[in-house]
Amino acid sequence: MTEDEPDETRTIARKAERMAEARKRRTESAWYGLGMFGLVGWAVAVPVIAGIATGVWIDKHWPSETSWTLVLLLAGVVLGSLNAWYWVQREGGRDD
């Protein structure tokens, strides 16, 4: 910066540099970690519970040799795990 620039321009530039530095040093709080833990938990729990409920309903209305509760429970676990992996990868990419 040169000396003939107005004070306002230098002040704005200094504040912009401070903001950029603060963004680089940003650390995640404990609340962020707890929120992420909860998000991952719900990402797994919801498909599992939905699979169990659907499986129980199918088994009740159309009895067969196949336990749809167990099949859809396992499908919910797989879907929930993929969902949790997606969220962890998405949030983990913010560290760049």
pTM of the entire predicted model: 0.62
φ/ψ of residue 45, rounded to 5: -65, -40
For residue 54, what are the CA distances in angstroms to 44, 60, 81? 16, 10, 19
pLDDT tens, residue order, the chain (96 aa) = 455 567 888 888 888 888 888 777 766 677 777 777 788 889 899 999 999 999 999 999 999 999 999 999 999 999 999 999 998 888 776 554
